[in-house]
Amino acid sequence: MTSWALLLLASVLLATPGLTFSGLTPEDHDDLFTTDMCQEEHFFEALAHEASKDDQMIFTCKPCKFIIKILRKVLGQDISQEAIKQAASLVCHQTRVFTELCNTLFNKYLNDITRGIVNDKSPQEICVKIRMCRPEIGDQVAGTLLHPGEKHRVSSRHHQLLPS
C-alpha cells in the first residue's frame, strides 16, 4: 500500500513539476497552459523568421509548383511573354493565400519562367531553376552517366583493397 501511494505521488509530481514547486493551486493550471501556448506561438514565429534559405524552401516549393501549374492552365496555347504577364496577374489575383509569393515569382523570375514554359519544362524543373525547390535526387545526378546503362568511369575503376 505504501509503495502504491509513493508511486502515485511520484507520478503526480513528475507530471506537473512546475505546478508542484511553483506554489500555485490547480485552478491556476489553465492560466499556465494558456501562457505556455502563447510562448510556443512566439517561439515558432521567431523560428520561422530566422529560418535559413534552405529551410524556407519547404514553404515555397509546393506553392511555386502550384502557381506554375495554374499559370499553364490559364495560358493554354498562347505562350508569349506578354500573355504570360497577363496570365500571371490573373493567377496572382486568384491565389489569395500565395499572393505575395506569386507576385515575387513573376517580378523576379518572369524571364526564367517564360523560358521554362516555352521549353515545355515541368513546374518542378522551373521551380528548381528559380531556386524555389530543391532538385530531386534524380535531377542532381542527371548527366553523370556517359550513356544509359553504362557505368560511370569513376565507379567502374575500383581497386581491391584487401587480398581475397
CA atoms of 117 and 108, how far apart (whole Å): 16
Span 21-38, pLDDT tens digits: 445 454 544 444 344 444
> What pLDDT is attached to residue 98?
81
CA atoms of 155 and 77, how far apart (whole Å): 45
Q: Cell numbers of 158, please? A: 575500383
Torsion sign across C-alpha atoms 38, 39, 42, 44: negative
Q: Which CATH architecture has domain 54-135?
A: Orthogonal Bundle (1.10)
Task: Tell me the whole-structure pTM to 2 decimals.
Answer: 0.50
Span 130-150, pLDDT tens digits: 999 998 776 544 443 334 443
Mean pLDDT of the chain: 68
> What pLDDT is attached to residue 20?
45
**SS3 state of residue 120:** coil
Would you say 70 and 93 are in contact if contact means Cβ atoms under 8 Å apart? no
Domains of the chain: which residue ranges? 54-135
Alpha helices in the chain (DSSP H): 2-15, 17-22, 29-49, 53-75, 81-94, 99-118, 123-129, 137-140, 153-156
Torsion sign across C-alpha atoms 75, 76, 80, 82: negative
> What pLDDT is attached to residue 57?
60
Residue type, 102: C
User: Is the pLDDT confidence value at 41 over 70?
Assistant: no
Span 45-66, pLDDT tens digits: 554 454 444 455 667 899 999 9
149: left (phi over 0), alpha (psi -120 to 50) or beta: left
